């Protein structure tokens, strides 16, 4: 016993770090520095928040309270409450004519982030490649790396309204490619993709036998046109793992509940990991989610209408200031360009924070092709947006 303790301490001494190579290979989040900076300053107006500024609608909160009063504090089945899965299956049948078996093809997760991690671990073998369209949410690339996969990013740009093209994806396909990962409506750009655009991606997936992971958490926040579920495309229901949840549509970020829909083999494999790691999503949140699906339409519509108004306010506002901003049709982000301002997005965001006390997120955080842009969330009150635009205008004038 004594001998082994000595061995361990000697080896610790030799090692540079106790953290695994895999985790070390992932750089710290680019957002962290701005978060710390914003926390130190007073009077900061934030357009840097990727969550609704609305509080969860009262009827949903009330159902949480009721669930607790009734003593519902136990585990649920690993897959999630059967009632919630049935409600989700009913929603997809009604809204998209898609049949998902609530017993085998739906898994309730603690938010989409957990679900994506499960999917990557369930699907990837070491060295398998995942094609990810950028700019993208900050977790995608690290999640692939943690699962032993290799992220292969493909750029999108303003010239194509930040839609990913089948051509770019096809160029990135190798023998090791297993997954295409997309997210429309998109964080950070607000871009959406129509049915025709998505069909071209589906063709590539079918031709090379790839699984598509489609994060559709912002689907309800589609302002112009209609959202198309990736799995509703011809032949894609078997080959798509679709993610959605309640955080954005019902302002339930902190309740941590989302879901994955897919074929039974993949959902089964994800459930296996989920049962040993998460066990189940919190029962209170799952019960709230049932109420959100049954009674949440009116409140959700009200929030969506308000986001749409702010979208007009903020995008027009940026264009007036001289920061060209394309018309994103979804999510709650504007993605103005800072081309011609003579500095990087990082510098712009840092100076804006220090000089004018406005927090935005530099686009490079979401991938190299986001470098000339800022992500500005309009999940903030109209007054905050107006004041932020005024301050950004002053800042641009001063450059």
In the complex, the residues that contact another protein under the rule CB under 8 A are: 29, 31, 34-35, 38-39, 44, 46, 48-51, 53, 55, 137-139, 187, 305, 308-310, 312-313, 316-317, 359, 361, 365, 382
The two three-digit tokens of residue 308, written as one number: 């749409």
Given a contact cutoff of 8 angstroms between Cβ atoms, the answer to whether 186 and 375 are in contact is no
Q: Which of 116, 153, 113, 141 is nearest to 30 (CA)?
A: 141
* Between 113 and 214, CB nearer to another protein: 113
Q: How far is the CB of 211 from another protein (least distance, A)?
A: 24
**CB of 128 vs another protein, minimal distance in Å:** 25
Residue whose structure tokens are 């070390």: 24
Beta strands in the chain (DSSP E): 45-46, 106-109, 129-134, 150-155, 177-182, 211-215, 240-245, 258-261, 333-334, 358-359, 361-362, 374-377
Closer by beta carbon to another protein, 176 or else 302: 302
The length of the chain in residues reads: 399
Task: Work out how close the CB of 203 gets to another protein at its nearest, in angstroms, rounded to a whole number.
Answer: 31
Q: Which is nearer to another protein, 53 or 114 (CB)?
A: 53
Q: Give the shortest CB-353-to-another protein separation in angstroms.
A: 10
Q: What are phi and psi of 109, to 5 degrees?
A: -120, 170
Pick between residue 139 and residue 165 the one whose CB is nearest to another protein.
139
Q: 137 or 243: whose CB is closer to another protein?
A: 137
Cβ contacts of 169 within 8 Å, gap of 6 or more? 131, 133, 154, 180, 201, 204
Q: Concatenated DSSP letters for 125-190?
A: PTT-EEEEEES--TTHHHHHHHTT-EEEEEE--GGGTTPPPHHHHHHH--TTEEEEEE-SSPTTT-
Q: Which is nearer to another protein, 38 or 269 (CB)?
A: 38
Residue whose CB is less far from another protein, 53 or 87: 53
Q: What residues form DSSP beta bridges with 179?
A: 130, 211
Task: Decide if 328 contacts 221 (C-beta within 8 A).
Answer: no
Under 8 Å between Cβ of 78 and 275: yes
Residue 300 CB, nearest distance to another protein (Å)? Answer: 14
Smallest separation, CB 219 to another protein (Å): 17
The pair of structure tokens assigned to 14 is 């030799």
- Residue 85 CB, nearest distance to another protein (Å)? 28
Residue with tokens 């039974």: 264
Tokens, residue 94? 């009604």
Which residues touch 7 (CB under 8 Å, ≥6 apart)?
none
For another protein, give the closer residue by CB, 29 or 174: 29
- Given the DSSP bridges, would you call strands 177-182 and 129-134 parallel, antiparallel or unpaired? parallel
CB 297 to another protein: min, Å:
15
């Amino acid at each position: 016993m004594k001998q082994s303790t000595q061995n361990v301490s000697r080896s610790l001494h030799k090692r540079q770090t106790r953290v695994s190579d895999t985790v070390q290979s992932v750089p710290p989040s680019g957002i962290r520095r701005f978060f710390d900076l914003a926390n130190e300053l007073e009077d900061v107006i934030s357009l840097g928040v990727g969550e609704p500024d609305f509080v969860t609608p009262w009827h949903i909160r009330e159902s949480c309270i009721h669930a607790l009063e009734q003593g519902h504090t136990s585990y649920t089945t690993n897959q999630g409450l059967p009632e919630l899965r049935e409600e989700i299956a009913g929603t997809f049948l009604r809204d998209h004519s898609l049949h998902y078996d609530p017993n085998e093809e739906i898994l309730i997760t603690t938010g989409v982030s957990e679900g994506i991690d499960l999917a990557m671990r369930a699907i990837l073998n070491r060295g398998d490649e995942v094609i990810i369209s950028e700019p993208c949410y900050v977790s995608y690339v690290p999640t692939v790396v943690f699962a032993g996969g290799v992220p292969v990013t493909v750029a999108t740009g303003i010239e194509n309204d930040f839609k990913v093209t089948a051509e770019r994806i096809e160029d990135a396909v190798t023998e090791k490619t297993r997954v295409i990962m997309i997210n429309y409506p998109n964080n950070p750009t607000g871009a959406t993709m129509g049915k025709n655009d998505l069909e071209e991606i589906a063709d590539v997936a079918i031709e090379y036998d790839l699984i598509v992971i489609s994060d559709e958490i912002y689907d309800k926040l589609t302002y112009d046109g209609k959202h198309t579920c990736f799995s509703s495309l011809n032949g894609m229901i078997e080959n798509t793992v679709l993610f959605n949840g309640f955080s954005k549509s019902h302002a339930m970020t902190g309740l941590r509940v989302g879901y994955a829909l897919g074929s039974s083999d993949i959902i089964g494999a994800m459930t296996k990991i989920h049962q040993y790691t998460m066990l189940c999503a919190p029962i209170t949140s799952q019960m709230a989610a049932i109420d959100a699906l049954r009674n949440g339409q009116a409140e959700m519509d009200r929030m969506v209408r308000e986001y749409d108004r702010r979208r007009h306010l903020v995008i027009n506002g940026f264009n007036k200031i001289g920061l060209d901003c394309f018309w994103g049709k979804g999510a709650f982000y504007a993605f103005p360009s800072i081309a011609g301002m003579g500095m990087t997005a990082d510098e712009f965001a840092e100076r804006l924070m220090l000089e004018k006390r406005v927090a935005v997120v530099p686009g490079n955080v979401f991938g190299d092709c986001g470098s000339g842009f800022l992500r500005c969330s309009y999940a903030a009150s109209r007054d905050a947006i107006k004041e932020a635009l005024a301050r950004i205008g002053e800042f641009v004038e001063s450059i």
